[in-house]
Amino acid sequence: MSRLLAKRAFIAGGHVTRFLGAKHPDFIWKKHPDFGKRENPDLEYYIHEAINGALESTHTSAAAVDKVWIGNFCGELFNNQGHLSAAAIGAHPDLLYKPSMRVEGACASGGLAFACALDSIQAGSSNVALVVGAEVQTTVSARVGGDYLARASHYRRQRGIDDFTFPALFARRIKACQEQLGYTVQDLGLLSAKAYANANLNPKAHMHHVTMSAEVASAAGELNPTF
């Protein structure tokens, strides 16, 4: 059986918005001096900023785009908005009438949206595809948000593990790594310190003033046994 060669595809570039959340100086919450005077950017704002920023940075006209994909996990819960493909099209007047689709796959939503766009190009149904991933998960309390995010687990089976679900699931995985693979708290401390250091290299990251040494991370692991 002969096999057709896949059409080559290239990533032109993109745009990354700022990450805003609790303790960021620009994030509005009840003790912020601007509380009640202005609001935090909403999901639609981030979608539009990401799309127009990507078009500008890649010197691509919106009219040249054939199809649009948007990756989002649970806009229905955090933002009361489920139909997000229309929000993507609304980012620029020249995107009007372009085919658009939302893709959901929990934490992999953005990556799956990209995979769909790549499939479209390689299949020959589009030449220029626009992909955007957007989430706003700061609209509710941490406890309510934990319940929302638990939808990315097997809700019926795993929701009752803990009020926040995923930290407990991650803790169980860490415990399994320690028991089955022999990892120590010192090993995991190095991993945590590297994650903090890498995050602080991003100028648009949520926080830059928070650092973590391997020694502090290891000590925290000894004081807080996993589930």
Structural domain harbouring 29 = 1-139
pTM: 0.88
Work out how many domains the chain is built from and give that number.
Answer: 2
Same domain, 97 and 66: yes
Same domain, 7 and 116: yes
Secondary structure letter of residue 156 according to DSSP: H
Is 67 in contact with 129 (CB distance < 8 Å)?
yes
Same domain, 60 and 24: yes
From first to last of the 227 residues of the chain, give the pLDDT tens digit: 445 567 889 999 999 999 998 888 889 988 888 988 999 999 999 999 999 999 999 999 999 999 999 999 999 999 999 999 999 999 999 999 999 999 999 999 999 999 999 999 999 999 999 999 999 999 999 999 999 999 999 999 999 999 999 999 998 998 898 899 998 888 888 988 999 899 889 988 888 778 888 888 887 766 665 55
Measured over the CA atoms of residue 60, residue 63, residue 64 and residue 70, the dihedral's sign is positive
Task: Look at residue 1 in the predicted model and tell me its pLDDT.
Answer: 41
User: Looking at residue 77, which CATH number applies to its domain?
Assistant: 3.40.47.10
Same domain, 135 and 173: no
In a domain, 149, yes or no: no
Same domain, 7 and 118: yes
Judged on CB neighbours under 10 Å (0-12, 13-18, 19+), 78 is buried
In a domain, 144, yes or no: no
Task: Look at residue 208 in the predicted model and tell me its pLDDT.
Answer: 77
Measured over the CA atoms of residue 32, residue 34, residue 35 and residue 40, the dihedral's sign is negative
Same domain, 60 and 107: yes
Same domain, 104 and 34: yes
Residues 6+ apart with CB under 8 A from 12: 58, 60
> Among residues 95, 98, 100, which one has the least CA distance to residue 84?
100
